Amino acid sequence: MKNLLSLLAGCMIVGAVNAQADSCRQQYIKTPTGYLMVLRQGENVFSAIEQLAILEKIPAANFMGMGFAGTATFGFYDAKKKAFDPGEFKDVEMGSVTGSIAWSNDKPSLHIHGVATDREFKAYGGHLLAMTVGTGSMEITVIVHNQKLERKVEQPLNANVLQLPPCEKK
């Protein structure tokens, strides 16, 4: 009981608290359409969304977000090489992050795009390969779908493509 009271008292302290030291801070909450995530400096955005999908058993979803990225690695798909050519940007403002959650081999499969701006307000965008939160936070709204969707690699491009259910026969 004493430990529980100490924990509750610790959670009620008002003031600036380092995010890593605040064990009472929630990373996400449930909403009528899905979830709202607030990620903090240093957090891996891809890992956080994957963990949400696993913990909440999300069958499929789309999401959108914004915030500051410490690092954002974009990739341009080279169809001849069948691979992404990466480009990393540091300390950029993510004006838009959009993506989807599906499943592949019983693991979450994310497809994320974004637009980032630098200090000179130059914009860069495209397919995101990795991203961490920079100074401040990143807010992500997740809209959950009721049907589980899968991604499968399709040829000849070797691209991981979202699979919709087969057509219903009439």
Domain containing residue 52: CATH number: 3.30.1330.80
Q: Is 105 left (phi over 0), alpha (psi -120 to 50) or beta?
A: left
pLDDT of residue 19: 42
For residue 35, being part of any structural domain is answered with yes
Report how many domains make up the chain: 1
- Mean of the per-residue pLDDT values for the chain? 88
Look up the domain containing 103 and give its range: 22-163
Tell me the pTM. Answer: 0.83
99: in domain: yes
Model confidence at 161: pLDDT above 60 = yes
8 domain residue, yes or no: no
Cα first-last separation, the chain: 63
The confidence score (pLDDT) of residue 3 equals 44
| Tokens at 131, concatenated | 């991203």
